Amino acid sequence: MSKVKNNKAWLLVLPMLVLVSFSAIIPLMTVVNYSLQDILGNSAFFVGTEWFEKTLNDPRFQSALLRQFGFSFTILAIQIPLGIGIALLMPKKGWQASAVLILITLPLLVPWSVVGSMWQIFTRGDIGLMGHGIRELGYTYSITSNATDAWITIILMDVWHWTPLIALLCYSGLRSIPEAYYQAARIDRASKWAVFRYIQLPKLTNVLVIGVLLRFMHSFMIYAEPFVLTGGGPGSSTTFLSQSLTTMAIAQQDLGPSAAFSIIYFLIILAVSYVFYIGIMNMQKEKATKNGDA
């Protein structure tokens, strides 16, 4: 006797689908419509892929894209190992664990624009602790005139702000490992490196995939923090894609080019995230297949 399927549960999902349609799909289709037209006052003329071609061939877009990838990969290379290390050092239980969790979460509670303002004051040579301290050491530190100083400061700011997220994700992954694994490792007299390599790191894979995807997507869309801290300068050395898009869409009111820019921007994030996710999933499948054959 076949089991009767009850599809009434879909009614619970219907309000969410309607909300997503209004908040995501309809605006997206509007942007696609603008990207294919040239808006002149109240008139619109179909131009096809002209705006996409101009955007991809624009040196400003190309340089901003290179800066964006450089920034995202740099902060991932720093934050992932650092987050894992902090999670390994955090207490496992007791009031110390609660205290450390509260302290480490504090940077995540600070609004993005406030983070930029905090670091802008922190790096000032006259009243900022960091800026004044560096200048006392004999180095002329300035995020407004030195591109290297601006880049290092933005990276440090992002590491301070978002490394706790990776640490919390890794900490939750470590706490989910059964104690039996550690008992077996102690019986086998495994070293700390062996425990990390063969027990902790494999159990952190799924958590790290989530952490890397979240951090990549956010870092690739970063706007408020560097805008408040450096304004994209000195020159255009810290102008990322989000700032270029905002200038084009709001300051210059170039609706067609900015719409094409935003679609390309979205597709780049989607493609890189998809490739990374598929690559990780294939690696896990291959590893599972090898273990099964063994």
Say if residue 233's pLDDT is above 90. no
Q: How far apart are CA 39 and CA 78, in angstroms?
A: 44
Q: What is the pLDDT of residue 169?
A: 93
Closest CA to 88 of 215, 177, 214: 177
Angle, CA of 273, 277 and 282, to the nearest 5°: 150
Q: Is the dihedral of CA 175, 177, 180, 181 positive or negative?
A: negative
Closest CA to 244 of 124, 64, 62, 8: 64
Q: What is the pLDDT of residue 5?
A: 66
Q: How far apart are CA 110 and CA 85, in angstroms?
A: 23
pLDDT in tens, 99-136: 989 999 999 999 888 999 999 999 888 888 888 888 88
Question: For residue 57, what are the CA distances in angstroms to 51, 62, 272?
Answer: 10, 7, 20
Q: How confident is the model at residue 291 (pLDDT cuts 50, 70, 90)?
A: low
CA end-to-end span of the chain: 41
| Mean pLDDT of the 245-259 span | 86
Q: By the 8 A CB rule, do 182 and 195 touch?
A: yes
The per-residue pLDDT of the chain, averaged, comes to: 87
Q: What is the pLDDT of residue 286?
A: 72
pLDDT in tens, 219-230: 998 998 999 998
Say if residue 255's pLDDT is above 90. no
pLDDT in tens, 136-176: 888 888 888 889 999 999 999 999 999 999 999 999 999 98
Q: Which domains can be identified in the chain, with CATH numbers?
A: 61-237 (1.10.3720.10)
- SS3 for 240? coil
Tokens of 152: 């290092």
Whether a cis peptide bond, with omega within 30° of 0, leads into 234 is: yes
Say if residue 1's pLDDT is above 60. no
pTM value is 0.85
Q: How far apart are CA 208 and CA 214, in angstroms?
A: 10
Q: Is the dihedral of CA 62, 67, 68, 73 positive or negative?
A: positive
Cβ-in-10-Å burial (0-12, 13-18, 19+) of 275 comes to exposed
Percent of all residues in the chain with a pLDDT value above 70, rounded to a whole number: 95
Q: How confident is the model at residue 30 (pLDDT cuts 50, 70, 90)?
A: confident
Which ranges of 176-233 would DSSP assign to H, the alpha helix?
179-187, 192-195, 201-203, 205-220, 224-229
The pairing of strands 43-46 and 37-40 is antiparallel
Q: What is the pLDDT of residue 88?
A: 92
Strands (E), the chain: 37-40, 43-46
Q: How far apart are CA 206 and CA 13, in angstroms?
A: 27
Percent of all residues in the chain with a pLDDT value above 90, rounded to a whole number: 33
Q: What is the pLDDT of residue 69?
A: 93
Q: What is the pLDDT of residue 292?
A: 59
Q: How confident is the model at residue 282 (pLDDT cuts 50, 70, 90)?
A: confident
Angle between helices 26-35 and 255-293 (to 10 degrees): 120
Q: By the 8 A CB rule, do 259 and 34 touch?
A: yes
Q: Which residues neighbour 283 within 8 Å (Cβ) at sequence distance 6 or greater?
A: none
Task: Name 37's bridge partners.
Answer: 46
